[in-house]
Amino acid sequence: MFLPHVTREYRLPKVDGFHNLTLKEAPVPKLKSNEVLVKVHAVSLQYRDLIVAKVPGSDLAGELIAVGEDVKGWKFGERICSNFATDHIYGDPTEEIEDTSLGGPIDGVLTEYKILPAHSLVRIPEHLTYEEGATLPAAALTAYNALMGAVPLKGGEIVLVQGTGGVSIFGLQLAVASGATVIATSSSNAKLEFAKKLGAAHLINYNETPDWDKEVLELTGGRGVDHVLEIGGPGTIVKSVNATRYGGQINVIGFVAGPSDLSQLPVLVLAKAIHLRGILIGSRTQFEDMNRLISAVKLKPVVDKVFDFEHLREAYEYLESQQHVGKVVVKVSKD
């Protein structure tokens, strides 16, 4: 098979906004013995790409078109994703592992062809398209690690998800698939209705109900939830503590709600024996475990909108508008 020597890739010469995104040609590096060459079919987007990257993008789905001579267990034509941090195989992250994060310390995946270490690869579930598969490496795995990591979710437990972005929607879907009850919050009633269609049992519009933590306690008979996917950060975490049961789990994932006074947070956490855990995506082993669950229940990721590779700026504009539910995806290959 003909192997490409040149790829088109997006570069971000200045990390002060997606208006700087530039599509350029670059040479495809020579394949090492433990690497594979991937034809990238789709990439899902996240805000992080525009803050830390020279070549942005971390979440790809693609097809193997060449395999290094020492690579075992992989063959031409297989459909794959790469783990977010290519060296995070199992266990807790380390500084060295985080230095292998795509679209940050190393160049990202908004390119037509990408060379990756074979040990980073995970097979895409057979029932998913490339566009759906591209949503898994960051958003889905973050939600899975939060719910199934240190203290695994049990059927019958209650999960609170904040908003309807990629991680929250996957958290909702994975929790429902595992037999949990989900409470979803959003500022949009239309987005809450979409969450209801995905299985959310209780819906709270936090603009209409500013004291949503009290509403959560009422819905749970005063007990509180077992797990929180904490997306808001400083602006919501105190209410999340209020809404969580004694000994419950708050998984800290984002900080989109802005600043707030957190001087009382240590006392509140201590008083309820809350477990606070920061989530840095997850390992390849967790990715494989998650894909078994996704395959077993035939879970379909929520792809809000797909953009062509040449219209990446428009894709980021749409992402920035926060109109989406689930994930925004870029289709890289047209065949």
Both tokens of residue 51?
């803050």
Does residue 75 share a domain with residue 62? yes
How confident is the model at residue 261, as a pLDDT?
85
DSSP per position, 104-124:
TTB--S-BSEEEEEGGGEEEP
Q: Is 319 a member of any domain?
A: yes
pLDDT at 2 over 80: no
> Which of 238, 261, 278 finishes a domain?
278
Both tokens of residue 170?
């996957």
Average pLDDT, the chain: 95
How many domains is the chain partitioned into structurally? 2
> Which of 238, 253, 278 finishes a domain?
278
Mean pLDDT of the 33-54 span: 88
pLDDT at 47 over 80: no
Mean pLDDT of the 276-289 span: 97
How confident is the model at residue 255, as a pLDDT?
83
pLDDT at 278 over 80: yes
Across 16-25, 63-72, 94-103, 298-307, least confident range = 16-25
Side-chain half-sphere of 216: how many Cα atoms within 13 Å?
28
CATH at residue 211: 3.40.50.720
Mean pLDDT of the 162-181 span: 97
Does residue 262 share a domain with residue 170? yes
- Domain of residue 161 covers 141-278
- pLDDT band at 322; cut points 50, 70, 90: confident
Does residue 263 share a domain with residue 222? yes
How confident is the model at residue 104, as a pLDDT?
87
Does residue 105 share a domain with residue 20? yes
Q: 272 near 247, Cβ under 8 Å?
A: yes
Does residue 171 share a domain with residue 243? yes
Q: 148 near 289, Cβ under 8 Å?
A: yes
Read off φ and ψ for residue 221, nearest 5 degrees. 65, 30
CATH at residue 313: 3.90.180.10
Does residue 214 share a domain with residue 99? no
Does residue 290 share a domain with residue 221? no
Does residue 172 share a domain with residue 92? no
How confident is the model at residue 12, as a pLDDT?
87
Q: Is 10 a member of any domain?
A: yes
Q: What is the pLDDT of residues 64-111, one digit of tens each?
A: 999 999 999 999 999 999 999 999 999 999 999 999 999 988 999 999
Does residue 308 share a domain with residue 244? no
How confident is the model at residue 258, as a pLDDT?
75
Q: How many CB atoms lie within 10 A of CB 251?
A: 26
> Which of 278, 295, 314 finishes a domain?
278
Does residue 168 share a domain with residue 224? yes
66 vs 34, 43, 78, 287, 310, CA distance in Å?
11, 20, 10, 23, 25
DSSP per position, 225-251:
EEEEEE-SGGGTHHHHHHHEEEEEEEE
Query: Higher confidence at residue 125 or residue 320?
Result: 125
Total residue length of the chain = 335
pLDDT at 1 over 70: no
Q: Is 1 a member of any domain?
A: no
Q: Is 205 a member of any domain?
A: yes
pTM of the model: 0.96
Side-chain half-sphere of 4: how many Cα atoms within 13 Å?
18
Does residue 313 share a domain with residue 196? no
Q: Is 54 a member of any domain?
A: yes
DSSP 33: T
Query: Higher confidence at residue 334 or residue 32?
Result: 32
DSSP lists the bridge partners of residue 306 as 329
Does residue 321 share a domain with residue 246? no
